[in-house]
Chains A and B, each alone.
Chain A
Amino acid sequence: MSTLTPAEPRSSVPAPHARTNGSRRRGKSRMDPTRNNTAAGIAAWLLALLFAVPVLWMILTSFHSEVDAATNPPSIAADLNLDAYKEFFGATSGVSPWPSLINSATASIFSTVLVLLLAIPAAYALSIRPVKKWTDVLFFFLSTKMMPVVAAVLPLYLFAKTAGALDNIWFLGLMYTSMNLPIAVWMMRSFLDEVPVEMLEASQIDGAGLLLTLRKVVAPVAMPGIAATALICFIFSWNELLLARVLTGVVAGTAPVFLTGLVSSQGLFIAKVCAAAVVVSLPVLFAGFAAQDKLVQGLSLGAVK
């Protein structure tokens, strides 16, 4: 393998081996894969553009005037302006989306903090110092996620009504905590599993206390995972509609609820809807791309690294 003879030019030998024979590095052996990659690249780009079209169209239309947004065929090269954004923020209607955006932020951040406070210790007890039958506990957590929210929403609504917690953003935050806690425990367990056992044992032998071990051994390894878990939980809370729709009203309505009420008005509204979709999706896009490196591991609950 270490020497590449001209007798086997068609075998696709990986670069490290080929490097032993410098003159052949750009030889025939690399040509086939390169040509394949060009075709794959073009196909991938076309499909990526196709998938991005609705997003790009949404962004472009949000900068068009309502008249230009409602033409057939579409006015791609129409003048750009910020009217739709001004409209969304209540320039003429006087209805501001800010309360709903602040409600969404409140519920999402409150529930994410609470989820982390509950999930990190739980994951510790399922990973670093596991309890007996930890797999059963883990699957109990997952099974609660399999129960559709809709099967529990009526009792929650009735409870909130009796307890005076209807239209209360903190109660909604508590519901989001229960919605995200099972998956957060799974994600977090996967990230804590990456802490090397040897390092934990070494710190124990050295007589380091629990807090010191957590701070010096566990935290540095688990921190990116904790951040990714937090971002994913934030996204799920920010996106949620059913519970928000049932449990909130005028005071505590969230951004998704506000979006559903946007289209009741008469007249042209496409550009405004696009601007609204851009504004409400921005936090999710930021959070998603910030968590990109750990997104797959998090979303697959740790099954995929």
Chain B
Amino acid sequence: MTTATARVSRHGSSTAKPSKNARARERAVAWARRAPLLPALIFLIIVTQLPFVVTLIISFMNWNSLSPDKTGFAGFDNYVQILTDPYFLQAIVTTIVETVSVVLVSLVLGLGLALLLDKKFIGRGLARTMLIAPFLIVPVAAALIWKHAILNPVYGLINGTLTWVWALFGSDTPPQPDLLSSAPLMAIIVSLIWQWTPFMMLILLAGLQSRPMDTVEAAQMDGATPWAIFRHLTLPHLRQYLELGGLLGAIYIVQNFDATFVITSGGLGTANLPYAIYETFYYANEYGLASAAGVVVVIGTIIVATFALRTVFSLFKKEAAR
């Protein structure tokens, strides 16, 4: 931005006088256009970019606040430790498994629900409202409900229902799985899928409703089966909506902290990178190590984002050419 301005002014000084005035006015106009943008831009750079630079610096330091006398330059030691320490390697794997499975399953479920809600039926509005509700429960509250009211092995809803169903058939030995300790990561993933499916459904439903119906009707006239219509017309149209839902969902789910914190406190291999970083600096006071892990997360995100942003850009390009 500054370079562009400098170029304009340099050109302005080399030309004749009346044109210099014109250039100055042009420059004033350009700055008047920029002015409303600057407060937001400057605020964001100070609050998000500056701290990251500090994180980058700390990541090359030996810094544990409990032993301040050992503070000093560490080179790449922290990074080596992150990429060899089983705890962090597990956290990287957990983050990937968690994000990919939650995004994929909630996209598939959201697609199914969107296809159903795209049809007219009695009480569609109410069904839609009920389906949105999980997304509008505070994540911490949702995690608490899943942990204590649903998955609790003694009196949770799931095991309670199993007892009830088995009793219907005259059995008093129902299975009582303890999912919180036998499949803790699964418990976190299920609660996240429950929260994020409505989000995917909303985006895909909007995509379905923007579908050009004349081609669908033409296909129906030609005797195309519902599956063929779905496979060759609906799915290609929905592709960009699926990508958008996947990208936005991934941005939020990669950062999941609440569900891990509440349901397992990061135990039993469920700590994802955000939780591992939190634990490293908040409880272990290893500032250098936590910062290096933070930088690793950002590098990973940048790699994914360069691919993802290109996708999103194609979606917005159409819309931008208004």
Interface centre among A14, A174, A295, A302 (most CB of B within 10 A): A295
A43 within 8 A of B: yes
**With A154-B287, A296-B202 known to touch, is A260 a contact of B315 (CB < 8 Å)?**
no
Number of A-B contacts (CB under 8 A): 318
Is the pair A55, B203 in contact by a Cβ cutoff of 8 Å? no
Partner of B220, one of A11, A182, A255: A11
Is the pair A301, B297 in contact by a Cβ cutoff of 8 Å? no
Residue of B nearest to A302 (CB): B319
A164 within 8 A of B: no
Residues 88-139 of A at the B interface (beta carbon under 8 Å): 118-119, 121-122, 124-126, 129-133, 135, 137, 139
A61 within 8 A of B: yes
A12 within 8 A of B: yes
Q: How far is the CB of A52 from chain B (nearest CB, A)?
A: 4
Partner of B137, one of A69, A153, A262, A284: A284
Interface string of A138-153 (1 = CB under 8 A from B): 0111111111111111
How many residues from A make CB contacts under 8 Å with B?
A: 109
Is the pair A305, B138 in contact by a Cβ cutoff of 8 Å? no
CB neighbours (8 Å) of B83 from chain A are: none
A51–B154 Cα distance when bound, in Å, is: 22
**With A177-B43, A178-B47 known to touch, is A273 a contact of B278 (CB < 8 Å)?**
no
Task: Tell me which of A18-26, A33-41, A199-207, A221-229 binds B.
Answer: A33-41
A158–B149 Cα distance when bound, in Å, is: 38
Is the pair A151, B294 in contact by a Cβ cutoff of 8 Å? yes
Residue of B nearest to A114 (CB): B43
Is the pair A256, B140 in contact by a Cβ cutoff of 8 Å? yes
CB neighbours (8 Å) of B43 from chain A are: 118, 177-178, 181
Is the pair B138, A71 in contact by a Cβ cutoff of 8 Å? no
A175 within 8 A of B: yes
B70 within 8 A of A: no
**With A299-B199, A304-B203 known to touch, is A54 a contact of B194 (CB < 8 Å)?**
yes
Is the pair A147, B160 in contact by a Cβ cutoff of 8 Å? no
- Chain A binding site: helix, strand, loop or mixed by DSSP? helix
A281–B161 Cα distance when bound, in Å, is: 26
Is the pair B294, A150 in contact by a Cβ cutoff of 8 Å? yes
Residues 3-53 of B at the A interface (beta carbon under 8 Å): 4, 30, 33-37, 39-41, 43-44, 47-52
Q: How far is the CB of B107 from chain A (nearest CB, A)?
A: 14
Is the pair B40, A148 in contact by a Cβ cutoff of 8 Å? no
Is the pair B122, A148 in contact by a Cβ cutoff of 8 Å? no
Is the pair A48, B127 in contact by a Cβ cutoff of 8 Å? yes
A57–B149 Cα distance when bound, in Å, is: 8
Residues 207-249 of B at the A interface (beta carbon under 8 Å): 207, 210, 217, 220-221, 241, 244-245, 248
Is the pair B141, A281 in contact by a Cβ cutoff of 8 Å? yes
- Chain B binding site: helix, strand, loop or mixed by DSSP? helix
A276–B137 Cα distance when bound, in Å, is: 12
Is the pair A178, B48 in contact by a Cβ cutoff of 8 Å? yes
Is the pair B160, A71 in contact by a Cβ cutoff of 8 Å? yes
A267–B81 Cα distance when bound, in Å, is: 42
**With A37-B120, A55-B137, A256-B140 known to touch, is A175 a contact of B149 (CB < 8 Å)?**
no
Is the pair A288, B119 in contact by a Cβ cutoff of 8 Å? no
CB neighbours (8 Å) of B112 from chain A are: 47
Residues 143-191 of A at the B interface (beta carbon under 8 Å): 143-159, 174-175, 177-178, 181-182, 185
Is the pair B130, A277 in contact by a Cβ cutoff of 8 Å? no
Q: How far is the CB of B189 from chain A (nearest CB, A)?
A: 15
**With A142-B309, A151-B297, A154-B281 known to touch, is A260 a contact of B140 (CB < 8 Å)?**
yes
A55–B195 Cα distance when bound, in Å, is: 11
Is the pair A11, B36 in contact by a Cβ cutoff of 8 Å? no
Partner of B40, one of A55, A118, A155, A304: A118
Q: How far is the CB of A135 from chain B (nearest CB, A)?
A: 7
CB neighbours (8 Å) of B161 from chain A are: 73-74
A217 within 8 A of B: no
Partner of B155, one of A125, A239, A246, A270: A270
Is the pair B130, A147 in contact by a Cβ cutoff of 8 Å? no
A114–B113 Cα distance when bound, in Å, is: 37
Is the pair B44, A182 in contact by a Cβ cutoff of 8 Å? yes
Residue of A nearest to B48 (CB): A144
Residue of B nearest to A14 (CB): B217
A139–B52 Cα distance when bound, in Å, is: 18
Task: Tell me which of B72-80, B180-188, B250-258 binds A.
Answer: B250-258
Residues 250-304 of A at the B interface (beta carbon under 8 Å): 255-256, 259-260, 262-263, 269-270, 273-274, 276-277, 280-281, 284-285, 287-289, 292, 295-297, 299-304
11 A/B residue pairs, CB under 8 Å, sorted by A: A44-B113, A61-B149, A73-B160, A130-B33, A135-B313, A152-B51, A242-B274, A285-B133, A289-B129, A299-B203, A304-B206
Given A12-B217, A150-B257, 13 more A-B residue pairs with CB atoms under 8 Å apart are: A45-B121, A47-B113, A51-B197, A54-B134, A73-B163, A74-B161, A131-B34, A131-B37, A151-B52, A153-B281, A259-B141, A289-B136, A300-B248
- Shortest Cβ-Cβ A-B pairs, 6 listed: A41-B121, A121-B36, A277-B141, A151-B294, A178-B47, A155-B54
